[in-house]
Structure 1
């Protein structure tokens, strides 16, 4: 298998796995701490391969997430598009940050995502969420180094095998 095809499978597989993890049922007590897997994987690919991940891709990925989750159509699309815009805008800086600084940047991105969720749900007339609503970005930032290192290691192994 050539390098481009293997990288394509890794890209598609990581997106599919993120969607499956997003759909994974959890007990009601653990739902507030479930990380936004689609966002974490999208941030990684936007940093590493911006030619594959654009605003249109983020929007389509968000629409797929909306359909799979059965939520308000366009909510995930808006969230992921805003996230991808910010990451692509600051990609040159984010790419060279050490992992701990990337983690802080991802934390800020995930908090920004929560603010977008509050705005969307406020416009749709939903009540304010409980305080545990803000725990998910903390867990997502905690998981980020593992996601980054795993995907980066898989990409480097694919590059090394073909060289």
Structure 2
């Protein structure tokens, strides 16, 4: 259970994820940009299910769609699907070691790319080049340190 003094962590982590997604990167690094928002939403769905659920994921996705100027509802759909899968397997996933959790997150981020590609193909929109398929791997590698950092902040641990 989170302490009242750490209530700032959820909104700040979401704001930081949105800002990291908007941060300009060189063209060479752009395909490697992890889906920060999905990583942060995944953390909250796993660790604070009473606060972060499907409605939470949908609303954050709509905000992201509006901020990024993307197809309205696309990120909301992608984040809601991810949150649904995480909610379904949350009880099991919490007992996985971080390395196995990272594999699950990697699979979810890959699934996210597939859903985005299907949505774009159905609507006749351009799809991302193949280089962008490396980002889920980077997100998978970032999951353990992100999880440990967020958990330490949420529980108020130091060092």
User: With structure 1 as the length reference, what TM-score do the two structures score?
Assistant: 0.92
How far apart are 1:63 and its partner, in Å?
0.4
Q: Which residue of 2 aligns with 1:138?
A: 137
Instruction: Give secondary structure in 2 for the equivalent of 1:90.
Output: helix
Q: Which residue of 2 aligns with 1:121?
A: 120
Q: Is the 8 Å Cα contact of residues 6 and 153 (structure 2) preserved in structure 1?
A: no
User: Separation in 2 of the partners of 1:120 and 1:9?
Assistant: 34
User: Separation in 2 of the partners of 1:101 and 1:42?
Assistant: 18
Deviation per CA, 1:62-86: give whole Å up to 9, x if none: 0000011111111110010001000
Q: Which residue of 1 aligns with 2:26?
A: 27
Note the residue ranges of structure 1 that are not aligned, 5 or more in a row: none
User: With structure 2 as the length reference, what TM-score do the two structures score?
Assistant: 0.94
How far apart are 1:128 and its partner, in Å?
4.1
How far apart are 1:95 and its partner, in Å?
0.8
Q: Is 1:46 the equivalent of 2:50?
A: no
How far apart are 1:133 and its partner, in Å?
2.1
Q: Which residue of 2 aligns with 1:36?
A: 35
Q: Is the 8 Å Cα contact of residues 65 and 72 (structure 2) preserved in structure 1?
A: yes
Note the residue ranges of structure 2 that are not aligned, 5 or more in a row: none
Instruction: Give secondary structure in 2 for the equivalent of 1:21.
Output: helix
Q: Is 1:3 the equivalent of 2:3?
A: yes
Specify whether residues 62 and 103 from structure 1 end up closer, same or farther in structure 2 by C-alpha distance, changes over 3 A only.
same
Q: Moved runs in structure 1, 4+ residues, more than 4 A?
A: none
Q: Which residue of 2 aligns with 1:92?
A: 91
User: Separation in 2 of the partners of 1:3 and 1:156?
Assistant: 7
Deviation per CA, 1:12-54: give whole Å up to 9, x if none: 1111111111111111111110000000001111110001011
Q: Which moved more, 1:148-157 or 1:60-69?
A: 148-157
